[in-house]
A = this chain, B = another copy of it.
Amino acid sequence: MTAQEAQVEVTAVESAHRRAARRHRVLVHLTQLAVLVVVLGGWQLTVQDNPRSVILYGVPSGILGRLTTWVTEGTAIGSLGDQIATTLEEALIGFAIGTALGIVCGVALGRVRFLSEVFGPFIKVLNAIPRIVLGAVFVLAFGLGIESKILLVIVLVFFGVFFNAFQGTREVDRNFIANAGILGASRWQVTSQVVLPSAFTWIIASLHVSFGFALIGAIVGEFLGATSGLGVLIKQAEGTFDANGVWAAMVIMAVVALAAEWLITRLENRLLRWRPAQLAGPDL
């Protein structure tokens, strides 16, 4: 058999794999569709004939209707795009700051024993405070502008990132750190070139949850007083027994979050290029 022939055979095996992968993808999407149909269809059917349930729990068709109105005619407080932009701005700024703080503090405390011994207990105490309650304090101190919302987002985002960054830092293989140290790396170089890449999966894992909490923080911040934003939309819908409106706002948030997730996953794949493919395992 010539190299040429072998080449052909390899290509054949590979394209068979690709076909199988395609079939698999179709199956996955069909299953997802089935799940969606069962859940939403079940909801629609149980609720739709009972006007009381429709008011209290909402109904998928109603939610769709509400979404259409919002998109085509705008909401009571302005165009839908404005509301999304407001909430997203608060969530993103807070998310960025909270994540950065979480990483910096987590890595610093993970690397410097003295810091972790001194500040560890304080961070645990702060983590225990029901941070939602702090929202009111932030409004008192910083007013109803974007600052108080961003602060609320930060306190909700920070701890998740912090604990993962901290643990990720401690989990770094001691051999790598020792090797880098022996090769002449300064403490800072060890941190940036050994600890951070190695703790990276830890940090990314926390970002998924944190982004969810960033949105919660923005919404709750808007509950406490705001003129625009998805939180205001939800509050208003709740106040008028408009369950469909509440769900519609949630659907919008879910879409936003999915977009963010997609970005996080891309970042993850980019930065984890160095890993064996199987090790990365199934992707969420």
Q: Which residue of B lies closest to A170 (CB)?
A: B281
CA distance A116 to B282 in the complex (A): 7
CA distance A246 to B132 in the complex (A): 12
Stretch at the interface among A65-73, A160-168, A180-188: A160-168
Q: A118-B31, A171-B201 are in contact. Are A208 and B163 (CB under 8 A)?
A: yes
Q: Which of B126, B141, B167, B284 is A205 in contact with, Cβ under 8 Å?
A: B167
CB of A45 within 8 A of chain B?
Answer: no
Q: Tell me if A's interface is mostly helix, strand, loop or mixed.
A: helix
Contact (Cβ within 8 A) A284 B109 = yes
Q: A118-B28, A118-B35 are in contact. Are A253 and B57 (CB under 8 A)?
A: no
- Central interface residue in A57, A216, A280, A281, by most chain B CB within 10 Å: A281
Binding site for B on A (CB under 8 A): 28, 31-32, 35, 56-57, 109-110, 112-114, 116-133, 136-137, 140-141, 159-160, 163-164, 166-171, 174, 201-202, 204-206, 208-209, 211-212, 215-216, 219-220, 231, 234, 238, 246, 250, 253-254, 256-258, 261, 276, 278-284
Apart from the given pairs A57-B141, A125-B254, A130-B216, 8 other A-B contacts in the complex at a CB distance below 8 Å: A120-B283, A124-B284, A128-B254, A133-B234, A163-B209, A166-B284, A167-B205, A170-B280
